[in-house]
């Protein structure tokens, strides 16, 4: 089995990134690109962790 992965996407909490880097947009673009595995950085940011817990 073959996987297409992006193992390090920053969130919208990271500097110099798009405000659209939230869970719904990341999921949408992963689906459009055929990405089957997505991992995110910024896990230590309390706001991002809260969004992950809420949206996943």
Please, what is the angle between helix 46-55 and helix 23-33, to 10°? 60
Maximum distance among all alpha carbons in the chain? 35
Going 10 to 15 to 16 to 17, the CA torsion angle's sign is positive
Question: What local confidence, expressed as pLDDT, does residue 46 receive?
Answer: 97
Question: What local confidence, expressed as pLDDT, does residue 29 receive?
Answer: 97
The pLDDT tens digits of the residues spanning 1-51 come to 899 999 999 999 999 999 999 999 999 999 999 999 999 999 999 999 999
Could you tell me the residue ranges of all domains in the chain? 5-55
State pTM to two decimals.
0.86
Going 20 to 2 to 41 to 53, the CA torsion angle's sign is positive
Q: Which residues share a beta bridge with 9? A: 40
């Amino acid at each position: 089995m073959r996987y297409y992965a992006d193992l390090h996407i920053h969130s919208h909490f990271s500097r110099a990134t798009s405000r659209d880097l939230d869970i719904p947009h990341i999921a949408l673009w992963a689906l459009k690109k055929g990405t089957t595995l997505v991992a995110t950085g910024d896990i230590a940011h309390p706001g991002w962790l809260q969004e992950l817990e809420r949206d996943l």
